[in-house]
């Protein structure tokens, strides 16, 4: 780009010199034309040599500068590449260490799951786990005076795990029985058969699970339902959503349990929603029971407010009488002042 600029400068100078020469030729005939042309040519030759030398020098400097830049760029690229490779290897090493730690944690988790599975194979342990889960839901949603544990709801020795205290007549509660069941063996056999793709085994174990749930519902109905001491239905709680979904998949099972045994199936989510609706109902009932007291209190407030209005009227009359007395006093004061205008003031006593 620099030699193009130099060339443009040379052309511009040539044009200027040509114009100057033309003007000189027109204005003066004393200077020989050839001498001037030769002088111009010598000047142009010197200018051309100067420009060529400068261009050569500039190109050499540019090549040297480019070479230095290339070396600098190569060094920086190599340094950056080495640094990034080192960082990449370090990150890969850290990820591998995390993977190894994750594998160790997964092995530990697998052992813990195995322990949990062995614990849940015990019928008593499963029952306690379902009872604890149902109790936690009740504690989270309801207040302690709205449910009870291990209640003899029918007046016999049979005690249900949980019973929700519903409002009854004459202040006597009506109990809603809630019992947790966990038929894990039949469900696990059904899951294993489904994973193996054995349709016959799936149907067999599904029927066994259905019969087991029917037996649980029949037991709850026989032991814990006794209207009017209890509600006319009870809740069978299944502590896992997968088990609850499998029971819902059986055609007509839920409807049959409700119709034959008056037992409703509930999973963790369903039971939580049901308890929340009960809580809102309890609040509405409490508001209705307190509404009579509120109206009575409002009547008392109205009576007292009427008395307060009478007292304010008496105070207003007294204030008016006091204002009239003050006005009379002011009038008498101004009359006395008029009388005293002609009285000479006494001289001040000497110090």
Please give the chain's pLDDT, 351 residues, in tens: 555 666 666 767 677 766 666 665 555 554 555 666 677 677 777 777 777 777 777 778 878 888 888 777 777 777 777 787 778 777 877 887 887 777 777 777 666 655 545 444 454 445 566 788 888 888 888 888 888 888 888 777 888 888 888 887 766 788 889 988 877 777 888 888 888 888 888 888 888 888 998 999 889 888 888 888 888 889 999 888 888 888 888 888 889 888 999 998 988 888 888 888 888 877 777 676 666 666 677 677 677 766 766 777 777 777 777 777 877 777 777 777 777 766 555 555 555
Q: What's the predicted TM-score (pTM) here?
A: 0.50
The three-point CA angle 281-286-290 to 5° equals 150
Number of CB atoms found within 10 A of residue 269's CB: 10
| Residues 177/234, Cβ–Cβ less than 8 Å | yes
How far is 351 from 184, CA to CA, in rounded Å? Answer: 116
* pLDDT attached to residue 21: 61
C-alpha radius of gyration, the chain, whole number: 54
- Show the tokens assigned to 283: 């609040």
The secondary structure element, H or E, covering residue 288 is: helix 268-339
C-alpha span between 29 and 162 (Å, rounded): 133
Task: Tell me the helix, strand and coil percentages in the chain, rounded to 5.
Answer: 75, 10, 15
Q: How far apart are CA 62 and CA 56, in angstroms?
A: 10
- CA dist., res. 235 & res. 280, Å (int): 19
Distance (Å, whole) CA 165 – CA 173:
6
pLDDT at 66: 80
The strand pair at 160-166 and 147-151 is best described as antiparallel
What is the C-alpha separation between 136 and 162, in angstroms, rounded? 11
Which residue is associated with the tokens 């699970």?
209
CA 238 to CA 60: how far, in whole Å? 89
pLDDT of residue 24: 58
Q: Look at the block and give the residue holding tokens 């195995």.
A: 114
């Amino acid at each position: 780009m620099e030699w193009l600029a130099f060339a443009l400068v040379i052309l511009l100078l040539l044009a200027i010199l040509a114009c100057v020469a033309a003007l000189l030729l027109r204005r003066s005939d004393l200077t020989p034309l050839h001498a001037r042309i030769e002088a111009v040519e010598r000047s142009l030759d010197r200018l051309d040599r100067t420009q060529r030398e400068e261009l050569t020098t500039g190109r050499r400097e540019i090549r040297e500068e480019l070479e230095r830049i290339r070396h600098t760029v190569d060094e920086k690229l190599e340094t950056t590449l080495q640094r990034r490779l080192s960082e990449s290897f370090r990150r890969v090493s850290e990820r591998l260490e995390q993977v190894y730690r994750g594998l160790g944690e997964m092995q530990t988790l697998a052992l813990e799951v195995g322990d949990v599975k062995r614990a849940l194979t015990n019928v008593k342990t499963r029952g306690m786990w379902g009872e604890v889960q149902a109790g936690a839901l009740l504690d989270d949603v309801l207040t302690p005076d709205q449910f009870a544990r291990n209640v003899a709801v029918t007046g016999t020795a049979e005690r249900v795990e949980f019973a929700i205290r519903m409002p009854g007549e004459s202040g006597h509660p009506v109990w809603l029985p809630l019992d947790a069941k966990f038929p894990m063996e039949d469900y696990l056999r059904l899951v294993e058969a489904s994973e193996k793709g054995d349709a016959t085994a799936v149907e067999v174990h599904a029927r066994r699970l259905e019969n087991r749930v029917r037996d649980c519902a029949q037991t709850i109905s026989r032991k814990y339902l006794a209207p009017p001491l209890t509600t006319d239905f009870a809740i069978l709680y299944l502590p896992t959503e997968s088990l609850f979904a499998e029971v819902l998949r059986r055609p007509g099972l839920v409807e049959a349990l409700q119709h034959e045994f008056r037992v409703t199936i509930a999973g963790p989510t369903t039971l939580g929603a049901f308890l929340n609706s009960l809580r809102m109902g309890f609040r509405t009932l409490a508001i209705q029971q307190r509404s009579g007291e509120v109206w009575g209190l409002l009547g008392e407030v109205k009576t007292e407010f009427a008395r307060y209005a009478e007292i304010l009227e008496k105070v207003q009359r007294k204030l008016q009488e006091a204002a009239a007395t003050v006005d009379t006093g002011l009038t008498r004061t101004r009359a006395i002042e008029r009388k005293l205008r002609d009285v000479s003031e006494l001289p001040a006593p000497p110090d």
